[in-house]
Structure 1
Amino acid sequence: MGRALHRFWRITFGILAALAILLTGAWGALALWYQFPGPPVAKGAAVAVWALLALVAIIALVMGHCKISLLYAGGFAALLLWWVSISPRNDRLWADDVAQTTRAEIDPGKPDIVRLTQVRNFDWRSEADYTPRWEARTYDLSRLSSVDLALSYWASPSIAHTLVSFGFEGGDHVTFSVEIRKEKGEDFSEIGGFFKEFELSLIAADERDIIRLRTNIRKEDVYLYRIGLTRPAMRSLFLAYVAKANSLADKPRWYNTITANCTTIVYEMVKHIVPGLPLDTRLLFSGYLPEYIHDVGGLVPGHSLDELRRTGRIAERAKAADRDPQFSQAIRTGMID
């Protein structure tokens, strides 16, 4: 009985150890592919060497040569040390639309006046043809009058990009968008977002830039929802964006597909303003964010979600408005507020 039990535990340990090598080997291969310096050939060679080491470790484990498996463990420890040493940066050759970082200045003597520098106001003719403009703009928080959530869908109904737009008395709007900070020639990758492929960027932009880009140029389906916040809460949220923008400008941070994306970063800020907001899978599947906000009472009361969604669908209104200076007012025509 004792020998049988010993054999059982030895086999169980071997299976678990082999599974651990398999999983860490797969993680290490992806980490090397996305972060090993050099051209794709060098990356491929590093991945091949690592995969061979993991395979040899599994075979050695099956054959009872545990010392070789310990060699793999040492290699994985070295890989982790290398991984931790890879830090985000603000000095890469960035794509034009994320080349600048928004900063904010508040005069201590005038706490309602916020000056944003590097506000994006591109004139987009196509994704490859545009006139770049980065501007300084000043906003009076005592005139802050609305907060709108914009969700932009391009493929799946479960995934959308999240933007938050602040409106002011007189018709001014500024939109904040948490995005990946791509380098020139770089494309988005969901998997790469787990492996330090992109830094995090917080863009402040004119709606004729950042919303029109999605509706008129990329032909995405965009919805606007009025968020029910008190003026003090609006102000707190705006200042939270300001603080986040300055923080990222001073200390870069990695984007992460799950933990640091366009929705979870907003949730981090809002939960300090509205305590008790529950965690929910719809924070990950951001296409369903309106359902979540509706359930916690954050949308305009007295209306069904279907009605808010129908009246908040702005793509056709945005295409009709196009470069109209009254773009922000035009896309809100018929929207429930």
Structure 2
Amino acid sequence: MIGRIFLRLLVTLMVVLATAWGSLALWYQLPMTTASKYAFIALWCMLVLGLLFALWRRRPWLALGGFLLLFALLLVWWNTLAPSNQRVWVDDLAKLTTGRVEGSQVTLNNVRNFDWRSDEDYVPRWETRRYVLDRLTSVDLATSYWGMPAIAHVLVSFGFDDGQFVVFTVEIRKERGERYSEIGGFFKQFELSIVAADERDALRVRTNVRDEDVYLYRVNMSEEAMRALFLSYIEQTNQLEEGPRFYNTITANCTTIVFDMMRQIVQGLPMDYRLLLTGYLPDYVRDVGGLQANLGLEELQRRGRITERAQQAGDDPEFSRLIRDGVPGW
């Protein structure tokens, strides 16, 4: 008797969790008005409640079979949802960066170089830029904070000895009128985008326009590893152009994408909670030997905070040099 009650409690818990997941999936993906979504989700919950009543009162196996059939139908619909590159995107994510490698020569198409005055007032520019892999000399990690210290956006900047810098940033590809939602990021609400941008765009828009707090860290990497990471970004951007992917708040975000690429280059990188709490990522990178070993994290953060320097540099052609003044390793 006790065993049957425990089993029914366990099944009830699983059904409730699956129902909650299904409700959120319906909310974020049903192409309906808000009122229609409420009605459809209410119907879904009422059907499940009826099956739970049957589970406890009448024929439990019949009730469980009914729920499994209902949930299977939901999963069939869920798996029909496919990412797309053909939507009405916001201007700064309207194009996909792609690259072509010919020997040591690299051509990047659709490098973003917007002139930002505000989030609504800007001059859009998409450029084709060329780089020489043999002249790649540096990799910098940038973390941008806008609220909680545990959460930051992560950007990676590559520097060349001819003075060029290009930033790769993993973004949710928002449609016009769409707003970011952490929960929606679990439910196929956004596509994934990797954008290459000029530093005066990618970093300055965060410090000077969005009032975010940005830190820059010089990363210790061999020439071979720097080149491999740069080429990996190009490979990823080309793959997204050929086959779009959904963004995921946990498994496909601005940190996990970079970590997956780095794990192909540096063997043995450990999984860590700081890969999810992205604000603490610099601490993780330092622990695996990626930052200046002779300085503590607090000192690296203090000297690597570029917010004020970026605000003062503005659109100066020497922006990249000015923001690095005092950054350890430069």
TM-score, length-scaled by structure 2: 0.98
Per-residue CA distance 1:189-222 (angstroms, 9 max, x = gap)? 0000000000100000001111001000001010
Name the counterpart of 1:39. 33
Name the counterpart of 1:225. 217
Percent of pairs identical after alignment?
A: 54
Name the counterpart of 2:24. 30
Name the counterpart of 1:134. 126
Displacement of 1:63 after TM fit? 1.2
Name the counterpart of 1:249. 241
Displacement of 1:147 after TM fit? 0.1
SS of 1:272's partner is helix
Per-residue CA distance 1:86-133 (angstroms, 9 max, x = gap)? 1111101111111100000122xxx11110000001111101111111
Name the counterpart of 1:267. 259
- Rounded Cα–Cα distance in structure 1 between residues aligned with 2:7 and 2:30: 32
Displacement of 1:69 after TM fit? 3.9
After TM superposition, list the pairs within 5 Å mapping 1:100-179 onto structure 2. Answer: 100-107=95-102, 111-179=103-171
- Rounded Cα–Cα distance in structure 1 between residues aligned with 2:35 and 2:91: 28
Task: Check the 8 A contact 1:36/1:46 in 2, yes or no.
Answer: no
After TM superposition, list the pairs within 5 Å mapping 1:305-316 onto structure 2. Answer: 305-316=297-308
1:285 corresponds to 2:285: no
Name the counterpart of 1:3. none
Gaps of 5+ in 2: none
SS of 1:279's partner is coil
1:336 corresponds to 2:304: no
2:171 maps to a residue whose letter is E
| Mean Cα deviation higher: 58-67 or 142-151 | 58-67
- Rounded Cα–Cα distance in structure 2 between residues aligned with 1:49 and 1:132: 46
SS of 1:38's partner is coil
| Mean Cα deviation higher: 64-73 or 314-323 | 64-73
Displacement of 1:301 after TM fit? 2.5
- Find the partner of 2:207 among 215, 220, 225: 215
Task: Check the 8 A contact 2:220/2:292 in 1, yes or no.
Answer: yes
Name the counterpart of 2:89. 94
1:241 maps to a residue whose letter is Y
2:65 maps to a residue whose letter is L
2:42 maps to a residue whose letter is A
Displacement of 1:41 after TM fit? 2.1
- Rounded Cα–Cα distance in structure 1 between residues aligned with 2:156 and 2:139: 7
Task: Check the 8 A contact 1:224/1:313 in 2, yes or no.
Answer: yes
2:40 maps to a residue whose letter is A
Task: Check the 8 A contact 1:144/1:168 in 2, yes or no.
Answer: yes
Name the counterpart of 1:56. 50
- Rounded Cα–Cα distance in structure 2 between residues aligned with 1:307 and 1:72: 56
Displacement of 1:70 after TM fit? 2.4
SS of 1:271's partner is helix
Displacement of 1:65 after TM fit? 3.3
Task: Check the 8 A contact 1:153/1:222 in 2, yes or no.
Answer: yes
